[in-house]
Amino acid sequence: MKIFIKNIPGQSAVTFAIMTMCYTIITLAKGDTQMPVIRLPELFLLSVFGGIWMEFAFGTCVFKQITDVKRVFIFIIPFSVITFICAVIFRWITELKVISTYIRFVGIFIGCGILSIILFEIEHRIRGREYTKKLREYQNGGNSNEQ
Amino acid sequence: MLLKLIENRDAEDTKITIEYRKKEEQVNKIIHFIEHLSEIESGFTAKSEGNLFHINSNEILYIESVERKTFGYTADHVYELDCKLYEIEEKYRLLDYMRISKSCIVNLKRIYSLKPDFGGKILVTMDNNEKLYISRQYAPALKEKLGLGGRRS
């Protein structure tokens, strides 16, 4: 539980960064060059939930022995529902009786998911270089935490 | 810790004396290492196609347990080893062998590259381009060993 709580700020920060990027891209795509300041606390609120749920689904505290596909589903389905509810409450979505609203939401959600995967991949490659550099140091008998 | 080395050409054999205030973990590790040094240096006795081989510990890329049998993988061959995974882990923990999942131990000296992967795992590419995963459970220990922070899961 301690590790679970400790990891939430990091997960929330990642979620907030990705959601802000996605929201900025969508806003620019719609032709708007400005974003209301109130949007940031709204995104932050959603990110806190996203962070908790991300740690719940992808961390090792709750689920230890499940496949990545199951973890993705545990995260994606409730998070898409919460995002939709927040989008309605925060009035990002107003036309609820039009079917194209729902299609657009799903499209945007999938687009954001793909963008997240690309950003994670870039981050993993950068961290991978750092890991490999430390590994080389270890292999050459250099710095490590070995006692 | 103070390391004192004395060269004595008249000595009959190499003598190691460990002087400690309290027998702590570090002292136990040194004793364990010295006690098992000859075994560790001798490498593995391995079996392949009915023949017995002697495999140097540096030749092994990783060791895997499959259906209660232990297999050692070199760059181009698989050998059956006559010891259990936990015994190898215990015996070689002070060298460069490290547990990366419940069924696998990897030789850190034979890893080509590391890359974090989805869900806290680490993708390991071995010298022969073979790919393995360090599970979420064991990734923090590796990070700690390499001086990358560590104990966050």
Please check whether residue B141 lies inside any domain of the structure: yes
Task: Give A130's pLDDT tier (boundaries 50, 70, 90).
Answer: very high
Quick one: pLDDT at residue A94? 84
> Which of A126, A144, A3 minimizes the C-alpha distance to B148?
A144
The distance of A129 to chain B (nearest Cα, Å) reads 7
> Does residue A137 have a pLDDT over 70?
yes
**Domain CATH code at residue B60:** 2.40.50.1020
Please check whether residue A145 lies inside any domain of the structure: no
Give the H/E segment covering residue B51. strand B51-55
Please check whether residue B121 lies inside any domain of the structure: yes
> Which of A15, A72, A77 minimizes the C-alpha distance to A43?
A15
Task: Give A18's pLDDT tier (boundaries 50, 70, 90).
Answer: confident
Quick one: pLDDT at residue B151? 52
Inspect the interface and report whether the beta carbons of A6 and B152 lie closer than 8 Å.
yes
> Does residue A145 have a pLDDT over 80?
no
ipTM of the prediction: 0.74
Please check whether residue B1 lies inside any domain of the structure: no
Domain that holds residue A78: 2-139
Quick one: pLDDT at residue A45? 93
pLDDT tens per residue across span B11-28: 888 888 999 988 887 888
pLDDT tens per residue across span B69-120: 999 999 989 999 988 898 888 877 777 889 999 999 999 999 999 999 877 7
Domain that holds residue B140: 25-146
Measured distance CA(A35)–CA(A53) in Å, rounded: 26
Closest-CA residue in chain A for B116? A124
Give the H/E segment covering residue B122. strand B122-126
> Does residue B29 have a pLDDT over 90?
no
Task: Give B64's pLDDT tier (boundaries 50, 70, 90).
Answer: very high
Least confident among A20-24, A62-66, A135-139, B130-134: A62-66
Tell me the mean pLDDT in the region B129-136: 91
Chain A residues close to B108, C-beta within 8 Å: 135, 138-139
Chain A residues close to B93, C-beta within 8 Å: none
> Does residue B46 have a pLDDT over 90?
no
pLDDT tens per residue across span A23-58: 888 888 888 888 889 989 999 999 999 999 988 888
Task: Give A142's pLDDT tier (boundaries 50, 70, 90).
Answer: low
> Does residue B68 have a pLDDT over 80?
yes
Residue B126, phi then psi, degrees to nearest 5 = -85, 170
CA B110 vs CA A70, A139, B73, B126, B127: distances in Å: 33, 9, 11, 6, 6
Best to test chain B binding among A11, A119, A140, A145 (most B CBs inside 10 Å): A145
Question: B99-137 burial, b if ≥16 CB within 10 A, otherwise e?
Answer: bbbeebbbbbbbbebbbbbebbbbbbbbeeeeebebbbb
> Does residue B123 have a pLDDT over 80?
yes
Quick one: pLDDT at residue B152? 46
Please check whether residue B152 lies inside any domain of the structure: no
Task: State the first-to-last Cα distance of chain A, in angstroms, to the nearest integer.
Answer: 29
Query: How many structural domains compose chain A?
Result: 1
pLDDT tens per residue across span B139-152: 988 998 888 875 54
Residue B98 β-bridge partners: B106
Quick one: pLDDT at residue A2? 73
Instruction: Choose the closest CB to B111 out of A120, A135, A144.
Output: A135
Tell me the mean pLDDT in the region B127-136: 91
Please check whether residue B85 lies inside any domain of the structure: yes
Task: Give residue ranges of A with CB < 8 Å to any B CB.
Answer: 3, 6-7, 58-61, 64, 68, 71, 120, 123-125, 127-128, 130-132, 134-135, 137-139, 143-147
Per the prediction, chain B carries an average pLDDT of: 86
Query: B42 near B82, Cβ under 8 Å?
Result: no
Percent of chain B with pLDDT over 70: 95
Please check whether residue B153 lies inside any domain of the structure: no
Query: How many structural domains compose chain B?
Result: 1
Please check whether residue B2 lies inside any domain of the structure: no
Quick one: pLDDT at residue A147? 41
Inspect the interface and report whether the beta carbons of A68 and B116 lie closer than 8 Å.
no
Quick one: pLDDT at residue B120? 79
